[in-house]
Amino acid sequence: MKSRIFILGFLCLGILTSCEGYLDKPLETTQNEDFTFASYSNAITVAHSMYADLPQGLTQIWNSGGSAMLASATDEAEFAVQNHNVQKYNLGTWKATDMPDNPFNNYYAAIRKAYNFIANADKINFDDVKDNPAQPGIYEKYLEDIECFKSEVMLLRAYYMFELIKRYGGVPIIKEKLDADVDYNTIQRASLEDCVKEIVYWCDETAKTLPAVQPYEERQGRVTKGVALALKSQVLLFAASELWNNSSWASGYSNPEYIALPAGNRAERWEAAAEAAKAVIALEAEAGYALDTYANLFGASAYQSPEIIFGRRDGNNNTFEKVNYPISYDNVTGGNCPSQNLVDMFQVLNNGVAEDFSWSNPAHTADPYANRDPRLAQFVITNNTVFQSRPVECWTGGIDGAGVRNATPTGYYLKKYVNTGLNLNNNQTANHTWVLIRLGEIYLNYIEALNEYKPGDPDIKVYYDKIRTRAGMPGLPDGLTQDQVRQLIRQERAVELCFEGQRFWDLRRWMDKDALKAPLRSVEITKTDSGFDYEPYDLETRTFEDKMYLYPYPQAELLKMPHWKQNPGWE
């Protein structure tokens, strides 16, 4: 709750937090800065405010109206409200002037705040606590905190830069606080390679100075050495993957350095990605990281989970539940509904052996949710599942099924992150912690990279099996080819990390056009005298063009900076 209060308190100050775009002239004045940095308590609001732009469950898509998850722009889910902004991704109607997800200004505003803090942190007036016998040790503690914040804001700057380059490719690299008299026409897009180097540099630098565990209760939720190393793992995994090593999809584009890295040794890039993930794993004992139960990891006490390396904790609310509960519950609007594509990825246990689910297998289709990977029941609400003491009726004609306005269009409701015990009529609320990086992802990062440059390494099975054992599933079979292991790792990422905002980017970095263009699948459920019949079908044709591997630069920014080169296909 403290971090939430810090965010709200900062917004109320209205200082140095204007919503203007990065390329607009800044509104800060010397008088504003003097006031803000006149005291420790005022100054740290600037640093704390950088956490306010971290994504959470319903703001992964910035312009979605606070209800759509990034999953609903992938084969993981369909959004129940058909005229929702997120559907522009699925229909291919988004463009540079109309983007469902456009955090360009938000992230650059956060980067501006980082440099504003760095430029002014040494000017803070500590006269009220310095040599004050009534507050022994406070001055020293404040100085230590300011030094820690210097590293934190630079690491958050690196995080926001990564969020930018995932979307736009090479972006301007800002290394100082820009004043109002700067000639913005001199600002250029940097190459993707330079952006990657800049982010990795600050991950390495802040890892040297940040603690493995924040030492004080009031620092709970702030970034650590583990966050720095884990962010580096994510960046280098992208840097080794296909998209950033292949510009052939943009044939004829005059500035390939904006969208891909220079030709290089891919094995070395995969090795670097593996080593970066292994560095996080090596920190487990010191930082206290450990795999957790899914109930703890996605429940109301998730902020205490030893698995979360980096997350955003929100105060008590029920917004997520009002969007994603089954539609028959009062005050529910309809939201992010798991797809049949996703559900089919959860394997079946057959006499202790894992096999892929198939609608062509009569034993599977006779009872499609029996003997499935236990994560299916923990992440997805299937038809006839008991929810708040009664079965959920996803069947056609049921109170949660087809025929009801904004009911699930897929036959499923979301359970992951949902607090299933809230009475929305009484406006009950719960704490929510949104996972940005967790140990399970790092294991998957590690084995994906390891399999690419050193297939057969025993660590692949060790860490694959750790994830599977926690889930209640068998480990990696022996005797598989590199490609077979690759496909199992990708399937495991899809299942384990569903609804955590990963698949949207995974499919792009793998350049998996088949999955990006695959029809969104649903299931028709018919109630019979003896139970239910299930018939899968294609619900929606999804559109994907090569240009959609990257976002277009927002047209509003190109109007300010006409010398910038638009991304390929969006010109």
We report the CATH number of the domain holding residue 331 as: 1.25.40.390
**Same structural domain for residues 422 and 551?**
yes
Whether residue 339 is found in the same domain as residue 463: no
DSSP string across 289-338: -----HHHHTSTTGGG-TTEEEEEEEEEE-HHHHHHS-TTSTT----EEE
Between CA 233 and CA 441 the distance in angstroms is: 10
> Which residues lie across from 537 on neighbouring strands?
522
My answer on whether 7 and 113 are in the same domain is yes
The answer to whether residue 497 is domain-embedded is no
- Dmax (CA) for the chain in angstroms is 81
CA distance 383 to 87: 25
How many structural domains are present in the chain? 3
Question: Are residue 186 and residue 132 in the same domain, yes or no?
Answer: yes
The sign of the torsion formed by the CA atoms of 61, 63, 68, 73 equals negative
What is the reported pLDDT for 181?
Answer: 60
Domain coverage including residue 377? 61-100+319-428+510-571
What is the rounded distance in angstroms from the CA atom of residue 498 to the CA atom of residue 245? 26
Residues in Cβ contact with 152 at an 8 Å cutoff, skipping those fewer than 6 apart? 47, 50, 206, 210, 222, 223
For 444-456, the DSSP string reads HHHHHHHHHHSTT
Asked if residue 170 and residue 91 are part of one domain, the reply reads no
The DSSP call for residue 254 is: S
CA-angle at 402, arms to 397 and 407, nearest 5°: 120
Cα separation, 477 vs 267, in Å, equals 25
Instruction: Count how many Cα atoms sit within 13 Å of the Cα of residue 9 in the half-sphere of its side chain.
Output: 14
Which CATH number is 452's domain given?
Answer: 1.25.40.900
First vs last C-alpha separation in the chain: 45
Please give the structure tokens belonging to residue 206.
Answer: 């802040």
Selection from 445, 390, 380, 442 nearest residue 414 by Cα: 380
In a domain, 388, yes or no: yes
Angle at Cα 269 formed by Cα 267 and Cα 272, nearest 5°? 110
User: Does 312 map to a domain?
Assistant: no
User: Is the Cβ–Cβ distance between 543 and 517 less than 8 Å?
Assistant: yes
> CA–CA separation, 61 vs 103, rounded Å?
8
38 and 78, same domain (yes or no): no
HSE-CB of 323 using CA atoms within 13 angstroms: 24
Q: Is 565 domain-assigned?
A: yes
505 belongs to a structural domain: no
Residues 6+ apart with CB under 8 A from 341: 75, 76, 518, 520, 521
Q: Residues of 283-300 as b/e, b for ≥16 C-beta within 10 angstroms?
A: beeebebebbebeebbbb
Q: Could you tell me if 272 and 361 lie in one domain?
A: no
d(CA 269, CA 424): 49
Is residue 78, in this structure, part of any structural domain at all? yes
The per-residue pLDDT string of the chain (571 residues; one tens digit each, 9 = 90 and over) reads 233 223 333 333 333 444 445 555 454 445 577 778 888 988 999 999 999 989 888 877 876 667 899 999 999 999 999 899 999 999 999 999 999 999 999 999 999 999 999 999 999 988 888 888 888 889 999 999 999 999 999 999 999 999 999 999 999 998 887 765 667 678 899 999 999 999 999 999 999 999 999 988 888 889 999 999 999 999 999 999 999 999 999 999 999 999 999 999 999 999 999 999 999 999 999 999 999 999 999 999 999 999 999 999 988 999 999 999 999 999 999 999 999 999 999 999 999 999 999 999 999 999 999 999 999 999 999 999 999 999 999 999 999 999 999 999 999 999 999 999 999 999 999 999 999 999 999 999 999 999 999 999 999 999 999 999 999 999 999 999 999 999 999 999 999 999 999 999 999 999 999 999 999 999 999 999 999 999 999 999 999 999 999 999 999 999 988 889 999 999 9
The model's pTM:
0.94
- Rounded-to-integer distance, Cα 45 and Cα 42, Å: 6
User: Do 519 and 422 lie in a common domain?
Assistant: yes
Could you tell me which of 521, 530, 523, 531 has the C-alpha nearest to residue 384? 531
Lookup: tokens for 90:
């699925």
18 and 145: one domain? yes
The verdict on residue 501 lying in a domain is no
Please indicate, yes or no, whether residues 51 and 143 belong to a single structural domain of this protein: yes
Q: Is 491 exposed, middle or buried (0-12, 13-18, 19+ CB in 10 A)?
A: middle
- Residue after which a domain boundary falls, among 162, 190, 218: 190
Last residue of a domain, one of 445, 463, 491: 491
The domain boundary, picked from 157, 190, 223, lies at 190
- Cα–Cα dist 380/101, whole Å: 25
Q: 222 and 264 share a domain?
A: yes
> Is 500 inside any structural domain?
no
Interatomic CA distance for residues 68 and 391, integer angstroms: 25
Q: Is 472 left (phi over 0), alpha (psi -120 to 50) or beta?
A: left
Which pLDDT does position 135 carry in this prediction?
84
In this structure, the answer to whether residues 164 and 203 fall within a common structural domain is no
CA distances from 37 to 12, 118, 145, 364, 554 (A): 16, 11, 15, 64, 34
Q: What is the distance between the alpha carbons of residues 551 and 217, in angstroms, rounded to a whole number?
A: 39
Q: What stretches of 353-470 adopt beta strand conformation (E)?
A: 353-355, 380-381, 386-387, 390-391, 413-414, 430-438
